Structure 1
Amino acid sequence: MKIMNNNFSRTLIATAVVLASSQVMSQALEEIVVTAQKRAQSLQDVPVSISVVTGDALKNTGVQNLESASEYLPNFKVSRNAIQDTISIRGVNSDLQAGGDQSVGIFLDGVFRGRGVQSRFTFADMERLEVLRGPQGTLFGKNTAAGAPNITSKRPTREFEAEISATYEAEYDSPEISGYVSGALSNNVRARAFFLTREMKEGWTNNAYYDSDDPQSEEWTGRLSMDWDITDNLSAVIRYEHYDFDVNGAAYEIIQTSQIPSSLAPISTAGLASLGLIDGQLNGKTNIGPGVDPFGGYVGEMDEGTSFFHEGDGDEAAVTFNWQLDPGTVTAIIARSEYSFDRYNDADFGPLAVANLFESEDYEQDSIEVRFSSDTGGALDYIAGLYYQSADLAVSGDTQFWAPSSLGALGLNGLQRIHYLDQESDTWAIFGQVTWNISDVLRLNIGGRYTDEEKSAVQGANLYGKVAATQPHLPAPGTKLPDPLVGALNPLIEMGSGAHDNELALAEDDFSPTASLQWNTTDDTMLYASFARGFKGGGFNAFSLAGNPQDAIYDPEEATSYELGAKIALLGGTAEINVAIFHMEFADMQTTQFTGNTGFIVGNAAEATSQGFELDGRWMATKKLLLSGNVGYINFEFDDYAGAGCTGLQIFTMQQAGLGQSGADCSALGINDLSGRTNQDVPEWTASLAAEYTQLIGDNYDLRLLVDVNYSGEYYATADLDENTVQDSFVKYNASVIFGPLSGQWDLSLITRNLGDEQTFSYANDVPLFPDSHLVAVEPGRTLAVRGRYRF
């Protein structure tokens, strides 16, 4: 781990001392209101472990996505990888292949976003982010076994407001422009329009072969929302948004090259050095630049001259009706969410033109939720509702292998494998929760949700011979190969049992109960104990290469959670401390195993236990100084996981011993038994500390200083827990300075992130087809941005 120099550390400490020494009378903290139980409540009254951060706070610290926001929240981590994003809460995350559901479901204004890629488009004009930990199956539904980020967008205002904001980040040549207009259109209609456009012209990873700094990106999002008071008792909230993104190049680095000869081509540190491809160090391991073909074969160069692209768009429309009746409120949310994207990977991630992968994904989801929420204040408060969702998912992948030296005897210069999944699903649920106000200080909450889901799909794969190179972003099938030849080539590319086209079906139901007891021991202290169960739905492996249809189906996983917590106000309301201690048990845990070559195996292989605690606090030390911080601890352990995916070296050793050929064989033999071990993306300790200081400048201006320090313990960045893929513990520093008039009409900001230029990676894997070589997804280094905002 790279540590910041002592001079800077002393400066930071001295600054904190000066700020803390400001002798100005404190004032009470502003109340935080959340919707974690489907109604507006004070954070201090909700018997759930929740961390909350406002959209304005994230913007002021330069956070642009959920991945960066997770640095501030204990026991919560988001990472991007070559297949899809992974969201973890309390050590539990989702499988990588495109057919899988998330263990952590995202909700935006009550609309479920269950696909990993949708986590990238949730930060537009955000009011607040609530991260709910532990199973949320009763009120939020399936695929929230580990928890649920609950996001609320900003609503239209009655008074006219408008803002234009321009930001320029210098390190990566990244301009951003955003703005909104909000106000009343009539006595009963209010509207808000928001847009954001952002470009990054230079990335943080040098691609030596293409002479480019990757990734480069362009994105655009817009949202139109409207509040309509239809009658005195009936209102509607209408929201439509569109997003568009285009990413070229990727921040992947090969951090270790193997001395083991591959069946396709040799890759070694010495060989790459002779080609002039060794270009630096990351975490003390050698890294190289991707894209070179030393054998003069097909390179797969893209139009933009990159070895990766990811481009797509999406739309979401939602209408929320609220009908106020004497005993309570009827709420109906009707929504449609859809997206599509194309993605190309240089699938060997290195300097050899061996494998390319072109993927496309299309998703459509329609949902409706109707619920009744009683008024509060009586002996019984309750919520009851119905939910229905239908979704269509189409996934296709085209993997192209280029190995003339290996296939020349067959009259081929390459192979092409096409896999696909066309899936339909229907889900309906009935749910309810009752709060019994036993006394003024004691409350009992009991709830449950019954869910029924049916999925059907066609999943298949076919292998073709290639006799001429084609651009990978314009895939064209070659000649389909006969099954005997496919079987002969299986050890080379792990095709499985051969070409197949299978119809799959899955029907499941689940009951997710919850219960909690709250006790207000004083006006300032609430204690609670809770029990909850949740589940993640079963599904189909879009990347299944086996002919047996049952090999593509996996069952649901279940989570049971026990939690003790306290929410405490201190120092006359100027400070708060919230703490939760949890114990979670997972049964039939879904796991994804990379085969070591070019496929994934998904199944219900593991039992696991996760236990630990979260501690959040904030203190208005003075009228000028707000301090906040949190600490998270996780002890995650697989209770039984004998059939874990193997490392590349383990697979190669097995092959040399004649015990098997594929990663599936290695897993079946139990060579990489992870029983008693942790999970990927699980730092044992995480912590964050932040200070916000405001100083009056003259009579008309103020200066705000925001400083935060975020710590992560070491973690394995890949599921097989290969020791070569450990990200060391690290500390990242961020700071912002904001200056403007007290009227708030304009402000100027200087925003820096990762001030110590810490080098870290969020994802790692074996390099496909090259045993014991490893790649990582590098995270950004230091950034420095200036921002100007003007409000009308």
Structure 2
Amino acid sequence: MAQTSDGSAQAAAGGQTQSVGAPDIVVTAQKRAERLQDVPISMEVLTTKNLAAFHADNFKALAVPNMNVGEIGGNQVIYMRGFGSPSQNYAFDQSVSLYVDGVYAGKSRQFTFPFFDQERVEVLRGPQGALFGKNTAAGAISVISAQPTSTFEGSATGIYNFGLHGYELSGYLSGPLGGGFSARLAGKIVDNDGYMKNLAFDRREPSNKSQLVRLSLKYDGGNFDYVAKVEYGHAKSLGNVTVSGPLTTDQQPVLTRYNIDDSVYGPAGFETRSWNIAGTGNLHLGDFTLTSVTGYSYFKAAHVNNFDQTIPGGGITSASVFNSYPEKFHQFSQEIRLQSPVGGMFDYIIGAYYDNSRYEVWQGSEYNMSIGNFLLHSDFHQRAESYSFFGQGSVHFSDEFRLIGSLRYSHTSKSASFYGTQDSGPFPFKPTTTADGSLSEGKVDPSVTLQYDVARRVMVYATYGQGSKSGGFVSNTYGTTNANFMFNPERSQNFELGVKSTLFDGRLVANAAIYKIKFDDLQVSTYNSNLQTYLVGNAAKASGKGIEGSLTWYPAPNFDITASGAYQDVKYDDYPGAQCLARQPGCGPTSAPVNLAGYPLPNISKFSGNVQVHYVIDLPGDFKLGTTVGVDGRSKFFNSDDQSLTYGVQKGYAKLNARIELSPADSRWHLALVGTNLTNKLTTSGAFKLPVPVTDVARALYWVDPPRNISLEASVKF
């Protein structure tokens, strides 16, 4: 649901019939409040109603063209315009960074439910190094939490998921405390059984039991305001979503698997406990504003992977594979910026940023095979510190023509150590190795934008920007030594032309952008089944080009149609010394390194998009009935690192979602029936070849996405 600049809801939200037209969506993508249609960035904005319509509470549930989430192992990885940091190396910084209320989230586990009780989510495509800075080589996602209110209000929502055999409860209370203070308390509980069937125990997996609570306090004293937030999250899951498949046919995902619990590491699943504390203050110095954003984040996680033991054809392999990844993370950050007034010929924002963090990951692996039982483990410790200075200035040559220039200098230092060894086994499988390293690097990320209003509410822009991501270390690959411990920073540059328009008295909103993005020293991690290991390092060069567009039409009161789509072409320009791909003739254990120039990157669809239709009918008795139908999909893509033409290709798909909601005209309560993936399309978010001797029988493994789910939702507001 989009919000207008004065806080009223868009026409399609319901209530009694309203005037037709697009609301003014206000965003902070350039560190100050602006209308979305005035911001020269290709971006999508998802508001509370957008996220709640189909119960999107994680990145995988978002339907944003040219953004997707891949998963192999324990981490979800966000890809933007074809680029992201693979999940297999746990210490990778991300190429698409997450910011929650202005605080940088260096690891995906920092926020248990990133989209809980939010005001909006801003998805910014392309490098955002100048203003956001920290590891935004491919893009950034900014999440803005709902704030304490000056009047008393609250809500409670319950959801029962029939497909997951479980429920979700959430709600909030918000209001004034007196003396300029207000508060907001929000909470969420999830208890679901999962959508996979583990035949070994006749149980559903992965179960998900989670609790989240957030307390926000706000003080507004006129010239000074401050919002403090404390958030605690606990999530625990039992089971996994990997299933086995043949190596010689297309992907054949199913919803059954067979896996026992491990005697050393226990059952597959994860448990995460996280604390996030943040404070944002604004001091108004005449027409200037001085802003401080302080953040502290901590999580402790334990994650165990296991792989389906079912042999394609119906048998059960005697081998089992388990990997355990206990993690611990601390981060402190501080940003200060000064914002000038607007309305003159020149305005600006200047600031400084600092953070430090500590990260630990312990890896344990058990390969239980007919030839014997192998136990291995590794330890990784890293300390990191960074600081930066940034500024953005806008020159208004006229009311229609503007020049925006931004610049950021960042300095990062890291030190790390690694130890890996084989604890037991009938013969040596991996050697004992150690590694130590440190790095210190500085980067400059500039951007420049020309912006011109060609007509009333029609703006065109041209942008050149650079982004960067710091170098780092190999955290969880057995056999790591000083020779292969460190990888270089990656850099990106982006050229973009765009148009944003609001036409026909607000009935039609049409935006589009074309771009070309280039990466140097792209950081990669690929699984080589011939060597039974992950290879972490830098590819020389890669590039992508494409087009993104969105269209929203308001043909009548309480009726809107939204469509967005994208095309991209992403490939390596130069990647010497790479391992050969499974689809290359003769690729095998003894194949010489190759250059993958001209080959596409994994996890990339050429086409992606979605369409959503929303209509609200006014019923007798002062009631209304809202219906929302949406379709989102993408074209085929390789989701295995070796780009196999059989087990490594996820075919193109489209998924159908629908919602029907009954409520009174004032929306103080509602009942809704929600269906996601109604055609029950089974897709995979990752795949790879599990080879001999890691297993007795070589087979493909898939990470299976959720199937169809029907849920019943009830909510009350007061």
Which band: TM-score by shorter chain?
over 0.9
1:776 counterpart residue number: 702
Residues 269-310 of structure 1 show CA distances to partners (whole Å, capped at 9, x for unaligned) of xxxxxxxxxxxx984478973337xxxxxx725898x5x111
Alignment counterpart, residue 57 of structure 2, candidates 45, 64, 78:
64
Secondary structure of 2:325's aligned partner: strand
Report the structure, 1 or 2, having the larger strand content.
2
The answer to whether the 8 Å contact 1:32/1:43 transfers is yes
Q: Measured at CA, do residues 782 and 75 of structure 1 come closer, stay the same or move farther in structure 2, by a change above 3 Å?
A: same
Residues 682-718 of structure 1 show CA distances to partners (whole Å, capped at 9, x for unaligned) of 1100111111101111141111111111121111112
The answer to whether the 8 Å contact 2:199/2:257 transfers is yes
1:238 counterpart residue number: 228
Q: Answer with 456-465 or 339-348: which moved more.
A: 339-348
User: Aligned partner of 1:54: which letter?
Assistant: T
**How far does residue 156 in structure 1 lie from its aligned partner after superposition?**
0.8
2:5 counterpart residue number: none
For the pair 1:74 / 2:65, whether they are aligned, the reply is yes
What are the within-5 Å matches in structure 2 for residues 436-585 of structure 1? 436-465=395-424, 489=428, 493=429, 495=430, 498-546=431-479, 548-585=481-518
**How far does residue 206 in structure 1 lie from its aligned partner after superposition?**
2.1
Residues 628-675 of structure 1 show CA distances to partners (whole Å, capped at 9, x for unaligned) of 1101111101111243344579899644xxx3xxxxxx5xx225x432
1:742 counterpart residue number: 665
Residues of 2 paired with 1:241 and 1:78: CA distance? 25
2:354 counterpart residue number: 388
Residues of 2 paired with 1:750 and 1:77: CA distance? 27
Residues of 2 paired with 1:167 and 1:538: CA distance? 43
Residues 746-776 of structure 1 show CA distances to partners (whole Å, capped at 9, x for unaligned) of 1111111011111111111121535862111
Residues of 2 paired with 1:140 and 1:76: CA distance? 18
2:607 counterpart residue number: 685
**How far does residue 171 in structure 1 lie from its aligned partner after superposition?**
1.5
Residues of 1 paired with 2:333 and 2:102: CA distance? 11
Residues of 1 paired with 2:414 and 2:353: CA distance? 17
Amino-acid identity (%) = 28
**How far does residue 220 in structure 1 lie from its aligned partner after superposition?**
1.1
Residues of 1 paired with 2:480 and 2:673: CA distance? 57
1:480 counterpart residue number: none
Residues 395-414 of structure 1 show CA distances to partners (whole Å, capped at 9, x for unaligned) of 11011233453xxxxxxx43
Give the alignment's TM-score, normalised by structure 1: 0.84
**How far does residue 465 in structure 1 lie from its aligned partner after superposition?**
1.9
1:401 counterpart residue number: 367
The answer to whether the 8 Å contact 2:224/2:282 transfers is yes
For the pair 1:36 / 2:29, whether they are aligned, the reply is yes
Secondary structure of 1:720's aligned partner: coil
Q: Measured at CA, do residues 547 and 28 of structure 1 come closer, stay the same or move farther in structure 2, by a change above 3 Å?
A: closer
The answer to whether the 8 Å contact 2:259/2:307 transfers is no
Report the structure, 1 or 2, having the larger helix content.
1
Residues of 1 paired with 2:283 and 2:472: CA distance? 37
The answer to whether the 8 Å contact 2:112/2:233 transfers is no
Residues of 2 paired with 1:742 and 1:594: CA distance? 55
Alignment counterpart, residue 328 of structure 1, candidates 277, 288, 292:
288
User: Aligned partner of 2:262: which letter?
Assistant: G
1:670 counterpart residue number: 593
Q: What is the number of equivalent residue pairs in this alignment?
A: 691
2:241 counterpart residue number: 251
**How far does residue 213 in structure 1 lie from its aligned partner after superposition?**
2.2
Residues of 2 paired with 1:79 and 1:548: CA distance? 28
Residues of 2 paired with 1:57 and 1:353: CA distance? 45
The answer to whether the 8 Å contact 2:302/2:324 transfers is yes
What are the within-5 Å matches in structure 2 for residues 590-739 of structure 1? 590-596=523-529, 598-646=532-580, 654-655=588-589, 659=590, 666=591, 669-671=592-594, 673-723=595-645, 724-739=647-662
The answer to whether the 8 Å contact 1:26/1:620 transfers is no
For the pair 1:51 / 2:41, whether they are aligned, the reply is no
1:300 counterpart residue number: 262
1:86 counterpart residue number: 77
Residues 178-228 of structure 1 show CA distances to partners (whole Å, capped at 9, x for unaligned) of 110000011300100000001112x22222223222211111111111111
Q: Measured at CA, do residues 67 and 286 of structure 1 come closer, stay the same or move farther in structure 2, by a change above 3 Å?
A: closer
**How far does residue 80 in structure 1 lie from its aligned partner after superposition?**
3.1
The answer to whether the 8 Å contact 2:214/2:232 transfers is yes
For the pair 1:751 / 2:668, whether they are aligned, the reply is no
Secondary structure of 2:79's aligned partner: strand
User: Aligned partner of 2:640: which letter?
Assistant: T
1:375 counterpart residue number: 341
Secondary structure of 1:550's aligned partner: helix
The answer to whether the 8 Å contact 2:582/2:643 transfers is no
Residues of 1 paired with 2:111 and 2:640: CA distance? 20
User: Aligned partner of 2:448: which letter?
Assistant: A
User: Aligned partner of 1:609: which letter?
Assistant: S
Secondary structure of 1:185's aligned partner: strand
User: Aligned partner of 2:82: which letter?
Assistant: G
**Bigger-Rg structure (1/2):** 1
Residues of 2 paired with 1:561 and 1:451: CA distance? 19
The answer to whether the 8 Å contact 1:557/1:588 transfers is yes
The answer to whether the 8 Å contact 1:255/1:288 transfers is no
1:145 counterpart residue number: 137
Residues of 1 paired with 2:156 and 2:236: CA distance? 24
**How far does residue 615 in structure 1 lie from its aligned partner after superposition?**
0.2
Secondary structure of 2:500's aligned partner: strand
Residues of 2 paired with 1:551 and 1:726: CA distance? 30
Q: Measured at CA, do residues 584 and 536 of structure 1 come closer, stay the same or move farther in structure 2, by a change above 3 Å?
A: same
5+ long unaligned stretches in structure 1: 1-18, 259-280, 293-298, 406-412, 468-484, 660-665
For the pair 1:124 / 2:116, whether they are aligned, the reply is yes
1:115 counterpart residue number: 107
Secondary structure of 1:572's aligned partner: coil
**How far does residue 415 in structure 1 lie from its aligned partner after superposition?**
2.7
